[in-house]
Amino acid sequence: MTQSLEQAMREFQPALPLGVALSGGADSTALLIACAARWPGQVVALHVNHGLQSAAAQFEQHCRDLCASLQVPLRISTVDARHQAGQSPEDAARIARYKAFEALARTEYAQPAIKSIAIAQHADDQVETLLLALSRGAGLPGLSAMPHRWERGGLAYCRPFLRVSGADIRRWLGEQQVAFVEDPTNTDVRFTRNRIRAQILPALQAAFPQFRDTFARSASHAAQAQELLEELGAQDAKDVCGEDGHPRIKALQALSRARQANVLRYWLRNSYGVAPSAAQLQELQDQIAACVTRGHRIHIKVGQGFVQRSAAKLTWYNP
CB–CB of 110/75 below 8 Å? yes
pLDDT confidence of residue 174:
93
pLDDT confidence of residue 217:
94
Q: Is residue 182 classed exposed, middle or buried when 0-12, 13-18 and 19+ CB atoms within 10 A define those classes?
A: exposed
pLDDT confidence of residue 55:
75
pLDDT digits (tens, 9 = 90+) for 236-258: 999 999 889 999 999 999 999 99
pLDDT digits (tens, 9 = 90+) for 17-41: 999 999 999 999 999 999 999 999 9
CB–CB of 1/163 below 8 Å? yes
pLDDT confidence of residue 86:
53
Report pTM.
0.86
pLDDT confidence of residue 296:
93
DSSP string covering 30-41, please?
HHHHHHHHHSTT
pLDDT confidence of residue 98:
79
- The alpha-helical segments, DSSP class H, found in the chain are 5-11, 26-38, 56-70, 89-105, 123-135, 140-143, 166-176, 192-195, 201-207, 211-240, 249-253, 257-272, 278-290
- Mean model confidence pLDDT for the chain: 90
pLDDT confidence of residue 81:
55
CB–CB of 180/169 below 8 Å? no
**Regions of the chain where pLDDT drops below 70:** 51-54, 80-93, 107-112
CB–CB of 44/75 below 8 Å? yes
